[in-house]
Amino acid sequence: MKLANLKIDSARLEHGDWVGDIPGLGDIRLRVRGLGNDDYRRRQSELSAALPRHLRKEPAEQDKILNTLIVETLLEGWEKVEADDGKPLAFTRENVLAILSDPDMRAFSDGVIWAAGAVSERRKSDLDDDAGN
């Protein structure tokens, strides 16, 4: 295998991209930065260091950290997200936090992480092939 085939698109990882066909999210499209972008890693380190050691393994605390990382460093927009009344739901920090804070909406959080992982793994060679190069 050529090493060039292993290159990721680091610009997309840092600046984000639109992702569709997200398992469990129907026709929702998310604009996300890649999992592990510089801000994500920096903020994750800060949040973990600020948490007392005995709380670091608590699922509730881990969820708080993950939700903060999603809001501050990953999710940048969405399409086709609707409120329960069927009307489009505006992409706002408040709406994102409301969804993430609902334990029954874990599928949304999982979808954001999946999409961010997909962006971080996109290979330059795949993107070049898609563009017809």
pTM assigned to the model: 0.87
CB atoms within 10 A of CB 120: 20
Low-confidence ranges of the chain (pLDDT < 70): 124-133
Distance separating alpha carbons of residues 41 and 127, to the nearest angstrom: 25
Distance separating alpha carbons of residues 108 and 75, to the nearest angstrom: 11
pLDDT of residue 126: 61
Among 65, 57, 76, which Cα is nearest to 19's?
76
pLDDT tens track for 107-130 = 999 999 999 999 998 876 565 555
Distance separating alpha carbons of residues 130 and 102, to the nearest angstrom: 37
Name the residue ranges covered by the structural domains of the chain: 26-121
pLDDT of residue 130: 53
The answer to whether residues 112 and 32 touch, using CB atoms and an 8 Å cutoff, is yes
DSSP 102: -
Residue showing tokens 């599928």: 107
